[in-house]
Amino acid sequence: MKLSDFFWNVEADKRLRGIDLRQADTPAEDTVVVEDIETGYKTSFAVPVILELKWEDLRAMATGEKDIAPLYHVTRVCGYFSRVENFNPSKIGELKDRRKGNYAIE
């Protein structure tokens, strides 16, 4: 799939939204972060993976309907995105214990 087609499909999909495009030193290491609006999960797609797969497979990976072996899970911690695969067992426990909620001060 072309990268432009991927961006168009993400924007047209009501369940997904693009978060970030991270440019690395080489284009082969560039990544695109997509968020599943329903669950709040963010997935980092390596550009070479986007170019190899079809939209249906990429969407299924972003929504958790398909195995994401070639992809990374990311979460925002302390203002920056981190790969969940790099977390130690304690940090994974903290991530599972987090709750969504309204923490606004009234």
Whether 69 has a pLDDT exceeding 70, the answer reads: no
What's the mean pLDDT in 91-96?
78
Domain map of the chain by residue range? 3-97
- Cα three-residue angle 58-16-21, rounded to 5 degrees: 75
Tell me the residue length of the chain. Answer: 106
Q: What's the pTM value of the predicted model, to 2 decimals? A: 0.60
Quote the pLDDT of residue 64: 83
d(CA 36, CA 52): 21
